[in-house]
Amino acid sequence: MSNKYKTASLFGMAHGLNDFIAGYLLANLSLHSSDIFTNSLAYLMYSVIAFGGQLPAGIIVDKYKRIKPIASICLLLLILSISVSYASLFMAIFFSAIASAFIHVCGAAACYVSDNKHYTLAGIFTSPGVIGLICGGILGSIDFNYFYLFILPLVVLLLWLMYVEIPSYENKKVNAHSSDTILDTHDMVMLLLLMTIAVRSLFWNVVHMMSFNQQTWLLVLGFSAGAGKLSGAIIADRVGWKKFMYVSIIGAVICLNIDKSNIILFGIGVFFLQSAVPITLVLVQQYMKQSPATAAGLCLGVLILFAGLPSYFHAFRQLQTHQHIIVVLSALFFLSNLCFLLMYQRKAKYQ
């Protein structure tokens, strides 16, 4: 196995384990706590930090260009999260959220600097995420007394990371310009808009299934998503991204909305939707050139947070009395992210 596939496999496993731990902690908090306000606040905190925090995390990774040390700290944070969970699930979720924000951007950047001409590495990295999240959520919803055992695979990944060679930013040239691989501004905007529509549809389905404890649907979601990401990346490398990308996203929007009670259509819709994720990730990374981690934060983090924002208020009716506070904090958070991005792009323009 070549080094680039070892890198993608390592970060793919870290991604899946990270999301598994997050799903377990969030579900376990709901299982053992009857305080609805605290549970909802923990879920909202995780969403804002783990998704919204990816953009500033990506900017930090791109600035210092130290993927391996930052990823090592993330794995240590996950170990801390598991350890702390026996004393405080809320603090464990907090540490898990921070680790999640950085693991997503570190993994995406590591795959990009290893090979920025193909999509398969991004597919390997992104595919285990949803599977891990759902499996962790299901396990966390039952009495499971051996959560500490998951420290062992984290230690193994930490040791493996020490021996993996990750190319530096400076040694990686930007992919040669061609009509099939390089986005123009219009392409980028349209893809992000379509992804937002599709992800928002998926988010509503997930919230509905979790509310009614539909584990069969959740498992279909997880494995359809994982298969879609890996298959979409491989297909895009073989036939080109443009036609496949637009067909897959439009197909996802249709399948996820045409009949929400049909599990087969739902699985196909999730497959189509998630098949576009690694392709979009790499295309936006190519568009942003020397800022692959920031691009990952935009695609894998902020985009999903924006897409799911309306659902937070719908799902958390118990927070209605504090809605004005949440709106103000959310607005400030998004504006700060926007300012970070604009300042970063302006700096890059004059360098």
Domain ranges of the chain: 3-350
pLDDT (tens digit per residue) in 97-126: 999 999 999 999 999 999 988 899 999 999
CA distance 14 to 105: 12
329, 332, 334, 339: CA torsion to nearest 10: -160
- Nearest residue to 157 (alpha-carbon basis) of 301, 16, 292, 25: 16
With vertex at residue 17, the alpha carbon angle to CA 152 and CA 236, rounded to the nearest 5 degrees, is 140
Note the pLDDT of residue 163.
92
Q: Tell me if the pTM is above 0.75.
A: yes
Backbone angles phi, psi at 240, to 5 degrees: 95, 155
What DSSP designation does 258 have? H
Span 288-299, average pLDDT = 88
Q: Are 284 and 119 in contact (CB under 8 A)?
A: no
CA distance 266 to 221: 8
With vertex at residue 192, the alpha carbon angle to CA 191 and CA 198, rounded to the nearest 5 degrees, is 90
Q: Are 121 and 12 in contact (CB under 8 A)?
A: no
With vertex at residue 331, the alpha carbon angle to CA 329 and CA 337, rounded to the nearest 5 degrees, is 105
CB burial of 194-221 (b: ≥16 within 10 Å; e: otherwise) equals bbebbbbbbbbbbeebbeeebeebbebb
pLDDT (tens digit per residue) in 10-47: 999 999 999 999 999 999 998 888 777 788 788 888 98
Diameter of the chain measured on Cα atoms: 56
- CATH class given for the domain over 3-350: mainly alpha
